[in-house]
Structure 1
């Protein structure tokens, strides 16, 4: 292995949607950083079988605002 070309590998915390946390090692961020998940295996429809609409970044609202006038005729 070549020296000084690999990213730093350190411990971070992961916070699941239900509030549970665990530690893992990653190249993300800095030592001790925390990742908060919006979707995880406990809430994702692929694992739970329950469908729900998640609009965390306002993407659905942005889409509706952008395309609300389509289909409406102007006089």
Structure 2
């Protein structure tokens, strides 16, 4: 097996500042900042803008777009012709 072919995977903490949530996983991401974790070890920390803890889809706060209702409202308002001029 060739040496130096695979990336350097190591333990990293990803921190979602919006939700105040952090989780420890393995990644190739690096950071100059470190954080002391629950196990007493210090790990590099990567701040992320959004994670499953703050994303609207996963938190149940997602808005769904009723595109069919909007089309029907448009046709009621402006007439639902065949789409042909004349």
**TM norm structure 1:** 0.52
Q: Structure 2 stretches of 5 or more lacking a match?
A: 33-42, 64-86
Size of the aligned set, in residue pairs, is 52
User: Are 1:41 and 2:52 counterparts?
Assistant: yes
**Residue 50 (structure 1) shift:** 2.0
Q: Which residue of 1 aligns with 2:6?
A: 6
1:40-62 Cα offsets, whole Å, 9 max, x none, are: 1122121223259xxxxxxxxxx
More strand by share: 2
Q: Structure 1 stretches of 5 or more lacking a match?
A: 53-75
Q: 1:30 & 1:47 partners in 2: Cα distance?
A: 27
Q: Which has the larger radius of gyration?
A: 2
**TM norm structure 2:** 0.47
Paired residues of 2:10 and 2:28 also in contact (CA < 8 A) = yes
The runs of at least 4 aligned residues of structure 1 exceeding 6 Å deviation read none
3-state SS of paired residue (1:46): helix
**Residue 30 (structure 1) shift:** 5.5
> CA-atom RMSD, angstroms?
2.4
Q: How is 1:1-75 mapped onto 2 (pairs within 5 angstroms)? A: 1-16=1-16, 17-29=18-30, 32-51=43-62
